[in-house]
Amino acid sequence: MGVIKTNSENTRMLARLMRAEAEGEGELGMLMVGNVGVNRIRGNCLDFKNIRSIPDMVYQSPGGFEAIQKSYFYQRARDKDVRLAERAINGERQHPASNALWFFRPSGNCPATWWDQTHSGRFKSHCFYIPTQGDCPNVY
């Protein structure tokens, strides 16, 4: 049973997002992007109030993902990417994205905070940021 409700079409959408945002980071990096997406749906807090589904999360504007502006996102989801998306949907979490709601790829070091959110760690090129437990208890 997943930690969010979804269907096969939306699972494939999450898989496409994970690939488009982090394929260069390998499977673990892609899974971390999935963690952030699932956390945004579970959170119902801060910038992500009323984000209740994968399409809500993927196409949120402002605040969504850059990948949806690129044709790569719209390619068919591969089976291995769908399996990674299913792992994120089923609640598998990987640090530093375990409780993260944001990530970005800086040109240098990860800042200690980003938009007043705490840096939880870096994986390859991506820096991950978490809310406080008080601000967003559903991601903890």
pLDDT at 63: 80
- Is there a cis peptide before residue 137, judged by omega within 30 degrees of 0? no
Q: Cα-atom radius of gyration of the chain, to the nearest Å?
A: 14
- Note the helical H segments in 44-128: 54-58, 79-89
Q: Which domain holds residue 54?
A: 8-139
Q: What is the pLDDT of residue 58?
A: 97
pTM value is 0.96
Residue 120: per-residue pLDDT:
98
Q: Is 3 domain-assigned?
A: no
pLDDT mean values, one per 10 residues, the chain (140 residues): 94 98 96 98 96 96 88 95 98 98 96 95 98 97
> What's residue 79's pLDDT?
98
The pLDDT value recorded for residue 1 is: 73
Count of structural domains, the chain: 1
- Please name which of 47, 48, 53 lies closest in space to residue 13, comparing C-alpha atoms: 53
Cα 43 to Cα 24, 38, 48, 60: the distances in Å are: 27, 8, 7, 14
Residue 63 forms part of a structural domain: yes
